[in-house]
Amino acid sequence: MDVTIYEVARLAGVSIATVSRTLRGTGPVAPKTREKVLKAVEELRFTPSRLGVSLAEGRHAANGIVFPNLAGPYYTEVLLGYEEVASELGRSVVILSTKGRSRVHDLVKDLAGRVDGLMVFGHTVPDDLVAELVRMRMPLVFVSREPLAGADTLRSENTASARALAEHLLGHGYQRFAFLGAPIATGDDVDERWQGVRSVLGTAIEAVPTEHYTVECGYQAAKTLLRAPVRPEAIVCSDDEVALGALLAAEELGLAVPDELAVTGWDDIMAARHARPALTTIRQPTRELGARAARALDELITGARDTPKHLVLPTELVLRASCGHHPQEEPK
Amino acid sequence: MDVTIYEVARLAGVSIATVSRTLRGTGPVAPKTREKVLKAVEELRFTPSRLGVSLAEGRHAANGIVFPNLAGPYYTEVLLGYEEVASELGRSVVILSTKGRSRVHDLVKDLAGRVDGLMVFGHTVPDDLVAELVRMRMPLVFVSREPLAGADTLRSENTASARALAEHLLGHGYQRFAFLGAPIATGDDVDERWQGVRSVLGTAIEAVPTEHYTVECGYQAAKTLLRAPVRPEAIVCSDDEVALGALLAAEELGLAVPDELAVTGWDDIMAARHARPALTTIRQPTRELGARAARALDELITGARDTPKHLVLPTELVLRASCGHHPQEEPK
DNA sequence: TGCCTTTCTGTAAGCGCTTACACAGCTGCG
DNA sequence: CGCAGCTGTGTAAGCGCTTACAGAAAGGCA
């Protein structure tokens, strides 16, 4: 990244404008001139400076993404879908993880200065900053968050599948339930799941918070819960990782799953399939979430669309062994 | 990102140089002037354009990272460690996934134009491009690749732990082995693992290739392998995902693990712990790999160091149920 | 042959910052 | 009182590109 357009121009015996035109294909260039320029470019191994181009064009050709962490497969998958499409559209992806960070505000702001648009998970960015970004017309797509004005939102369906799950569990004959991993923020995915489940089970289900949505926290909370004098027959978990923790706790306490205790997860991460018993869960179209976010962002950035869009993608109930026995049962 | 330093200067009644100096803290500024400037900045909600700053400073304040994909937890963890430290050092992270991409050459080149330094996994970048990047003195750190001139390399230990694993398996009394997920590139991690294992087991172990290092491919290859007239007593897998596939295949074929078949993985991903039987594997310091890469890159970028460094991080054998029964055995 | 187009190329003005350099106004000392 | 030495500020030259505009060369037509 040392040789500039000037040196190419000098070597080719033309002006920098001609070099630029040749390389970008804008404006007419005589075949002979083009040849000279290309030869000089080749010889000097010239690559236009991204900085120069961006400054002149007034665009970064890059997208940002803000996520809490990448620990689980969920965020990873979304990120992959996002990066793939962004790359297809000629944009790089700049990442920012907020987990365990102070100064999130500054970090996000810095990120915003490097990109043409931003995808944000849930509530990882403080509300006042969101407002500021909206005000300065930064193209924004939120994933897994309730709709808000001035930005796209993209979610996977939670309430209906939560109901379906709850009804399936009722079908198994369970009567006492717990929801492990109670919602932390109103309007986020977990909150919707909780609302959906409760709308079916009513007072038969009790919300049990966990500190984080991790295996470890799920394990701790489940151990406490399962040691209580009256324990639930089925534990609906906020996500697969918490559910895996619950499985560990059950195993440790000598409770057979699903015979003595049913457990369900959410997301269908890889470990869900490999756990024993395999985890009943709800599959999200993670990859597509990311891909759609990238496309939506592109529309906003290019100005192909200027009214926010709010989309909800369908999910799928995946029945495995952890919620009870299914002789010939037809998955809904 | 609309208001420029000129407008701030005008509003504050000073020159742009003074604004710049105030904001950066370079050079002296009279208290009263500073006040005026800060007030104007506040009022206009001014944030310096990253592009302008970078162009003038001649640096991006960003690092790149090239990985094959993010499917498994391995790359994810490394990425997280990398991003965390990079962010600490004031650098953003621009990602590039090469999986399923044509034009990798162009994509990497574009990436190189956006960052001050690059971390690259294994052999994801074509050799000629690597040579070119080295030639143009782009700071480079390779992870999980054999040392090469002109760049840092960072690996986790493979050979010794492979030997330890092989010896442990011999201790269980097994005599026929297979290595599932045979090395694809010479000098990469898997190759080293294979070499290490073979150096102990010699002709008692046979290499069985898989198309990719995934659960699916491991499953397919294992099924074929286990149906053969003479099947191995222990399968050493190139990584955990392949091993999980092997577990699935064994289950499907009605083979009890570990009683009729031992299986081991590599990496210690989350699913390894939750599989049943839990997977014996070798833990890599993934997070630290990323963190160290970011620091090494920083040294190279700032010029604190100019001779390449080649580092190997230790790994740890994690004994679980899948390799056989351990009554009171002391893990090595 | 002369003039109007077209085609091609160069000049120069940004894009938004940083910073070397010059200079003005003060302070303090001999 | 004069001058060296500060401190504080502005001017202007980049950083590496894109592109509007203008002008030169060449071709077409009457």
CA of A42 to C1' of D21 (A): 30
One-letter amino acid of A257: V
Q: What SS3 class is residue B175?
A: coil
Residues of A in contact with B2 (CB under 8 A): 136
Residues of A in contact with B113 (CB under 8 A): 1, 47-50
Q: What SS3 class is residue A239?
A: coil
Nearest nucleotide (C1') to alpha carbon of A46: D16
**How many other β-carbons are positioned within 10 Å of the β-carbon of residue B57?**
10
Residue count of chain B: 332
pTM value is 0.87
Pick from B245, B258, B254, B279: nearest CA to B172: B258
CA–CA separation, A277 and B48 (whole Å)? 55
Residues of B in contact with A1 (CB under 8 A): 112-113, 136, 138
Q: Are A234 and A175 in contact (CB under 8 A)?
A: no
A13 touches strand C (CB under 7 A): yes
pLDDT over threshold 50, residue B169? yes
Tokens of A27: 């404006």
User: Please, where are the H alpha helices in A66-188?
Assistant: 73-88, 104-112, 127-135, 159-171
Measured to protein CB atoms, the chain D nucleotides within 7 Å are 7-12, 14-20
State in Å, rounded, how far the first CA of chain A is from the last one: 58
Q: How far is A89 from chain B (nearest CA, A)?
A: 12
Chain A, 25-54: which CBs lie within 7 Å of strand C? 27-34
Closest protein residue to D17 (Cα–C1'): A52
State in Å, rounded, how far the first CA of chain B is from the last one: 58
Inter-chain touch B70–A87, beta carbons under 8 Å: no
Nearest nucleotide (C1') to alpha carbon of A31: C8
Enumerate residues 6+ apart whose C-beta is below 8 A from A115: A60, A62, A63, A64, A94
- Report the sign of the C-alpha dihedral through residues B142, B143, B148, B150, in that order: positive
Residues of A in contact with B101 (CB under 8 A): 87
One-letter amino acid of A224: T
Q: How far is A49 from chain B (nearest CA, A)?
A: 6
**How many other β-carbons are positioned within 10 Å of the β-carbon of residue B127?**
9
CA of B55 to C1' of C15 (A): 11
One-letter amino acid of B202: G
Inter-chain touch A2–B136, beta carbons under 8 Å: yes
**How many other β-carbons are positioned within 10 Å of the β-carbon of residue B61?**
18
B37 touches strand C (CB under 7 A): no
pLDDT at A214 (0 to 100): 83
A30 touches strand D (CB under 7 A): no
Nearest nucleotide (C1') to alpha carbon of A12: C9
User: CA dihedral in degrees (A141, A134, A307, B95; nearest 10)?
Assistant: -30
Mean pLDDT (chain B) is: 92
B114 closest CB neighbour out of A52, A76, A92? A92
* Residue B46 vs residues A138, B37, B49, B90: alpha-carbon distances, Å: 15, 11, 9, 20
Nearest nucleotide (C1') to alpha carbon of A36: C9
Q: What SS3 class is residue A330?
A: coil
Inter-chain touch A60–B79, beta carbons under 8 Å: no
More confident residue, A32 or B295: B295
Tokens of A177: 């339930």
Nearest nucleotide (C1') to alpha carbon of B9: D10
More confident residue, A212 or B174: B174
Inter-chain touch B51–A54, beta carbons under 8 Å: yes
CA of A29 to C1' of D17 (A): 18
Pick from B271, B282, B242: nearest CA to A274: B271
Residue B250's φ and ψ, nearest 5 degrees, are -60, -45
Nearest nucleotide (C1') to alpha carbon of B27: D8
- B99: nearest CA in chain A? A84
Inter-chain touch A51–B47, beta carbons under 8 Å: no
- When pLDDT is cut at 50, 70 and 90, the band that residue B328 belongs to is low
pLDDT over threshold 70, residue B329? no
Inter-chain touch B73–A73, beta carbons under 8 Å: yes
* Residue B87 vs residues A142, B69, B80, B113, B273: alpha-carbon distances, Å: 22, 22, 10, 19, 30
Pick from B271, B272, B264, B282: nearest CA to B324: B264
- B269: nearest CA in chain A? A271
Interchain CB contacts (distance < 8 Å): A and B? 129
Listing DSSP states for A309-324 in one string gives: -EEEE--EEE--GGG-
Inter-chain touch B71–A76, beta carbons under 8 Å: yes
pLDDT at B99 (0 to 100): 87
Instruction: Give kind and range of the element (H or E) at residue B282.
Output: strand B281-283
A113 touches strand C (CB under 7 A): no
Residues of B in contact with A101 (CB under 8 A): 87
CA of A22 to C1' of D29 (A): 32
Residues of B in contact with A84 (CB under 8 A): 97, 100
A6 touches strand D (CB under 7 A): yes
pLDDT at B69 (0 to 100): 83
Tokens of A245: 């923790």
- The burial class, CB within 10 Å (0-12 / 13-18 / 19+), for B109 is middle
User: Please, where are the H alpha helices in chain B?
Assistant: 5-12, 16-24, 31-44, 50-57, 73-88, 104-112, 127-135, 159-171, 189-201, 215-227, 240-252, 270-274, 286-302
Residue found by looking up tokens 């970028």 in the block: B301
Q: What is the mean pLDDT of residues B200-206?
A: 95
Q: What is the mean pLDDT of residues B183-212?
A: 90
Mutate to test the interface with A, among B4, B44, B50, B286 (most CBs of A within 10 A): B50
Per residue in B105-164, pLDDT tens?
Answer: 999 999 999 999 999 999 899 999 999 999 999 999 999 888 999 999 999 999 999 999
Full pLDDT tens readout for chain A, 332 residues: 588 999 999 999 999 999 999 999 888 888 888 998 999 999 999 999 999 999 999 999 999 999 998 877 789 989 999 999 999 999 999 999 998 898 999 999 999 999 999 999 998 999 999 999 999 999 999 998 889 999 999 999 999 999 999 999 999 999 999 999 987 777 788 999 999 999 999 999 999 999 888 888 899 999 999 999 999 999 999 999 999 999 999 999 999 999 999 999 999 987 888 888 999 999 999 999 999 999 999 999 999 998 999 999 999 999 999 999 886 544 33
- A137: nearest CA in chain B? B1
CA of A3 to C1' of C7 (A): 30
Q: Within 13 Å, how many C-alpha atoms sit on residue A189's CB side?
A: 25
Residues of A in contact with B55 (CB under 8 A): 51-52, 55
Mutate to test the interface with A, among B78, B92, B108 (most CBs of A within 10 A): B92
Q: Please state whether beta strands A205-208 and A177-180 pair in parallel, antiparallel, or not at all (unpaired).
A: parallel
pLDDT at B135 (0 to 100): 92
Listing DSSP states for B108-152 in one string gives: HHHHHTT-SEEEEETT-S-HHHHHHHHHTT--EEEESS---TTSE
Residues of A in contact with B100 (CB under 8 A): 84
